[in-house]
Amino acid sequence: MAKVYNFSAGPAVLPHEVLATAQAELLDWHGSGMSVMEMSHRGKEFMEIIHEAEQDLRELLQVPAGYKVLFLQGGASQQFSMVPLNLAPADGVIDVLDTGHWSKLAIKEAKRYTNVNVVASSADRNYAYVPTPETWQRSPNAAYFHYTSNETIGGLQYSDIPQVGDTPLVCDMSSDFLSREFDVSKYGLIYAGAQKNIGPSGLVVLIVREDLLGHAQPQTPTMLNYQIHADADSMYNTPATYPIYISGLVFKWLKAKGGVKGMQARNDEKAGLLYHAIDSSDGFYYSHIDAPFRSRMNVVFRLKDESLEDLFLSEAKKNGLVQLKGHRSVGGMRASIYNAMPIEGVKSLVHFMLDFARQHG
């Protein structure tokens, strides 16, 4: 079997142990004689799987009482419509922080359902930083405040939790969910598409404060109504059963690896190695993101000599380092180093980068 380190931004690398377990259980889950893919979502076997996945996730993040955990479909992109439809009145206003590609899409979609006040934007410097809270122009009566904790494409991460008082705080945490510790009780709603740092695509995980449910705009489609899914414990219709099963295995893997705290330490170390390689390359490689906001999940960098970028990618591939091409809208390189990327993969990339710089610098 070809062994590569996969730096894809998503769908992304999954823990090897999880895939091996899934393989061993593929034809016969725990003596049931069935594959998880073949099970009724309302049967006792699958009910056990989804229940355990939820309990393990609650434990990993110490989700307080009063929050619902939902397993839905439609990806994180569908949340760009669901959040405003459910949490904001059509004649109300929401506050949004614009830090790049994904915040812009959230803003564009929300405008279809309510009024959007962009509190601040870092577009002026090509999203190289997060505007400081002192500059935010907040509305006095926002239905909620939305931000993106990690801009997967730009490589920008905001580690602080915005202090927004009584305004419900909503976060698109798709690409750094479970990568570091945070206090769930500071949030009204968190959503994360699974294929970055949780499991396979086809699933979005939500944690939502119960008092925010039940206020959907009247025209909200049934399938986009949080209350419907919350009342049915994510079983209003057939959920994404196999992705939920794999995500559950990932949660168990995380618990065995020291939980979110253990991951955070490993992720800091991995990102530290990579940024050090970039910063100590005498400008051969560079990051355009201001240091405090550099993502520890998606390390975006460029080569000073852009004509070498194709060669960098093809040589990297020969060395078993794949999916390093940056998003088409940004260019350059992007090394996504989610929880499941082992430190050996990062060391291997750093080794290759030093070699490449030596040969071509």
Q: In the bound complex, which residue of the shown chain has the CB atom lying closest to ligand PLP? A: 75
| 193 near ligand PLP, rule: CB under 6 A | yes
Q: Are strands 298-303 and 333-336 parallel, antiparallel or unpaired?
A: antiparallel
Please list every residue from 245 through 284 that binds ligand PLP, using CB under 6 A. none
Helices 343-360, 259-279: inter-axial angle, 10-degree rounding: 0
Q: What value does the CA radius of gyration of the chain take, rounded to a whole number of Å?
A: 21
| 115 near ligand PLP, rule: CB under 6 A | no
Of 30, 66, 23, which is closest to residue 48 (Cα–Cα)? 30
Q: Find out whether 172 is annotated in a ligand binding site.
A: yes
Which pair of structure tokens corresponds to residue 148? 């993106």
CB 38 within 8 A of CB 262: no
- In whole angstroms, give the CA distance from residue 131 to residue 160: 12
- In whole angstroms, give the CA distance from residue 323 to residue 337: 11
- In whole angstroms, give the CA distance from residue 344 to residue 360: 24
Least distance from ligand PLP to the Cβ atom of residue 289, Å: 15
**Contact with ligand PLP (CB under 6 A) among 174, 234, 241, 267:** 174
Of 245, 250, 260, which is closest to residue 178 (Cα–Cα)? 260
Q: Find out whether 195 is annotated in a ligand binding site.
A: yes
| 75 near ligand PLP, rule: CB under 6 A | yes
Question: Is residue 102 flagged as an active site residue?
Answer: yes
- Site for ligand PLP (CB under 6 A): how many residues? 12
Question: Is residue 28 flagged as an active site residue?
Answer: no
Least distance from ligand PLP to the Cβ atom of residue 170, Å: 12
Question: Is residue 68 flagged as an active site residue?
Answer: no
Q: Report, as residue numbers or ranges, the catalytic residues.
A: 102, 172, 196
Binding residues vs ligand PLP (CB under 6 A): 10, 75-77, 102, 148, 152, 172, 174-175, 193, 196
Q: Extract the annotated binding site for pyridoxal 5'-phosphate.
A: 76-77, 102, 152, 172, 195, 237-238
Q: Extract the annotated binding site.
A: 42, 76-77, 102, 152, 172, 195, 237-238
